[in-house]
């Protein structure tokens, strides 16, 4: 980034606007025998106003955050789960610590829960991002 220029960053917003992530995380934790986590755990900067506050504290000016709908549209629930499984995601890491039977049960439950986003036209997982534009003044 240009020290005197502006740039944008995208981050997940609040958990209620990213239900697929919540389904994945709560299911993985349950099958791994782990307690539920704070819903903001994976979306920690999604708390209202926090991202702007952090950028202002870091010396940025002209900070402006807008919400952006960013649905994920693979052909099916199974395609979405294949995508998640190929990432080095926290879900894969959590399930990597349990036996194969528990892993299979978790993935099956996730597929069932995420099936609510399946329609005749394909799968559409709801996501909302925060797009923050900010400027750093030259030092």
Question: What is the reported pLDDT for 139?
Answer: 61
The contacts of residue 20 (CB under 8 Å, 6+ apart) are: 72, 80, 114, 117, 125, 126, 127
Return the CATH number at 51.
3.40.50.150
Q: Over the stretch 87-109, which tens digit does the pLDDT of each residue have?
A: 878 999 999 989 999 999 999 99
Q: Is residue 33 part of a domain?
A: yes
Which structural domain, as residue segments, surrounds residue 70? 6-136
pLDDT per residue over 52-87, tens digit each? Answer: 999 999 888 889 999 999 999 999 999 999 999 998
Which pLDDT score, from 0 to 100, does residue 18 have?
94
Q: Which residues pair with 130 in a beta bridge?
A: 11, 67
Please tell me the predicted confidence (pLDDT) of residue 126: 93
Domain assignment present for residue 1? The answer is: no
121 falls within a domain = yes
Identify the band that residue 1 occupies on the pLDDT scale cut at 50, 70 and 90.
very low
Total of domains in the chain: 1
């Amino acid at each position: 980034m240009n020290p005197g220029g502006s740039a944008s960053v995208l981050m997940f917003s609040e958990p209620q606007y990213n239900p697929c992530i919540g389904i994945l995380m709560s299911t993985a934790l349950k099958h791994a025998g782990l307690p539920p986590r704070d819903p903001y755990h994976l979306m920690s900067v999604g708390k209202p106003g926090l991202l702007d506050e952090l950028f202002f504290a870091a010396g940025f000016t002209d900070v402006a955050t807008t919400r952006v709908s960013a649905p994920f549209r693979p052909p099916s629930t199974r395609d979405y789960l294949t995508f998640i499984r190929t990432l080095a995601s926290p879900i894969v890491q959590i399930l990597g610590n349990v036996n194969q039977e528990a892993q299979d049960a978790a993935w099956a439950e996730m597929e069932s829960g995420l099936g609510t986003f399946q329609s005749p036209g394909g799968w559409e997982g709801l996501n909302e991002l925060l797009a923050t534009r900010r400027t750093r003044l030259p030092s």
